[in-house]
């Protein structure tokens, strides 16, 4: 696979605050790489360094691509301009051919849902609309590398779905590399691979499935047979703890649990069993906890 950008052992301090601590990653052509972590984990700092907006204190970055398309967490827009003027300015800076600018700008404004606001002053737009305009600026870039900082925060589900469809399309069909920083597990799930970041350190790197395998499945969801449910609501077998949820018994699986033994003991009361995968926020919490114990 072709490497598009690599960061090795990045460190960054702001006074006594260590924002990045030996953080490393690599992103490949045609990949959506997520940087997933809690607020304050260092995601925005890492993206700004990858974008060349600020330098690291130590460490190195190598890339095969020129300037990236960037969507900052805090929109950097000129309030006196209209969205059409703002994107026209950046289309010029991006050296998009004059004959293609109008169509490209209209397409991007339609995609992010701002076409009807194209001639309004940016200063009159809502915070959410400004965030969408910042996203539009990144998408307008012809670069094969997009750096997006919490791009879906505060957006409605229809807009998020439309933008995610576009991101995955340009990743798959155009071979662009998307690096997306997020604290939203639902966005992290859609990334090809994830870098889990906490207090400036990389905890783990892998697909969502690989990261889940590090901590194990979350639970068995056991649906009792009607009228027998009370007899199936049991807990305490070999470290297994159960709780009722929507008429089912949700059995947490810990390191010492023996779910097969549990199912054998209550098999006569079971109507259905399914595995509930651990959420990525839960995976992150467990790996943070494991790191503190080391």
pLDDT tens string 84-140:
999 999 999 999 999 999 999 999 999 999 999 999 999 999 988 999 999 999 999
pLDDT band for position 264 (cuts 50, 70, 90): low
Burial of 36 (0-12, 13-18, 19+ CB in 10 A): buried
pLDDT tens per residue across span 56-74: 999 999 988 778 999 988 8
Question: What is the per-residue pLDDT for 222?
Answer: 60
Round the average pLDDT of the chain to a whole number and report it: 85
- 202-208 average pLDDT score: 95
Burial of 293 (0-12, 13-18, 19+ CB in 10 A): exposed
pTM of the model: 0.81
Maximum pairwise Cα distance, the chain:
73
- 134-158 average pLDDT score: 93
Question: What is the per-residue pLDDT for 66?
Answer: 79
CA distance 153 to 182: 8
Q: Which CATH class is domain 3-212?
A: alpha beta
Listed by start position, the domains of the chain span: 3-212, 219-276
> DSSP strand E in the chain: where?
3-14, 17-28, 32-36, 58-63, 69-71, 145-149, 177-182, 193-198, 201-206, 219-224, 241-245, 248-252, 270-276
pLDDT band for position 31 (cuts 50, 70, 90): very high
Question: What is the per-residue pLDDT for 213?
Answer: 83
Q: Is the pLDDT of residue 242 over 70?
A: no
pLDDT band for position 218 (cuts 50, 70, 90): low
Q: Are 112 and 140 in contact (CB under 8 A)?
A: no
pLDDT band for position 149 (cuts 50, 70, 90): very high
Q: Is the pLDDT of residue 182 over 90?
A: yes
Q: Are 278 and 215 in contact (CB under 8 A)?
A: yes
Question: What is the per-residue pLDDT for 244?
Answer: 62
pLDDT band for position 271 (cuts 50, 70, 90): low
Q: Is the pLDDT of residue 273 over 70?
A: no
Question: What is the per-residue pLDDT for 215?
Answer: 80
């Amino acid at each position: 696979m072709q490497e598009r950008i690599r960061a090795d052992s990045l460190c960054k301090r702001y006074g006594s605050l260590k924002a990045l601590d030996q953080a490393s990653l690599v992103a490949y052509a045609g990949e959506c790489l997520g940087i997933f972590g809690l607020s304050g984990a260092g995601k925005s700092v890492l993206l700004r360094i990858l974008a060349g907006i600020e330098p690291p204190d130590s460490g190195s970055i190598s890339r095969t691509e020129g300037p990236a398309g960037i969507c900052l967490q805090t929109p950097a827009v000129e309030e006196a301009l209209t969205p059409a003027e703002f994107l026209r300015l950046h289309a010029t800076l991006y050296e998009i051919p004059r004959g293609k600018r109008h169509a490209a700008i209209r397409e991007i404004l339609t995609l992010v849902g701002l076409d009807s606001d194209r001639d309004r002053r940016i200063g009159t737009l809502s915070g959410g609309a400004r965030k969408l305009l910042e996203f539009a600026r990144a998408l307008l870039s012809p670069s094969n590398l997009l750096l997006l900082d919490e791009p879906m925060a505060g957006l409605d589900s229809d807009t998020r779905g439309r933008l995610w469809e576009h991101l995955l399309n340009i990743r798959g069909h155009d071979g662009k590399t998307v690096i997306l920083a997020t604290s939203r597990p639902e966005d992290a799930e859609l990334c090809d691979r994830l870098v889990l970041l906490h207090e400036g350190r990389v905890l783990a790197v892998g697909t969502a499935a690989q990261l889940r395998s590090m901590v194990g499945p979350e639970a068995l969801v056991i649906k009792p047979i009607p009228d027998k449910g009370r007899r199936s609501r049991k807990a305490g077998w070999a470290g297994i703890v159960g709780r009722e949820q929507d008429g089912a018994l949700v059995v947490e699986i810990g390191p010492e649990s023996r779910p097969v033994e549990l199912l054998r003991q209550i098999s006569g009361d079971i109507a259905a069993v399914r595995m509930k995968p651990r959420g990525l926020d839960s995976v992150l919490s467990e790996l943070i906890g494991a790191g503190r114990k080391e």
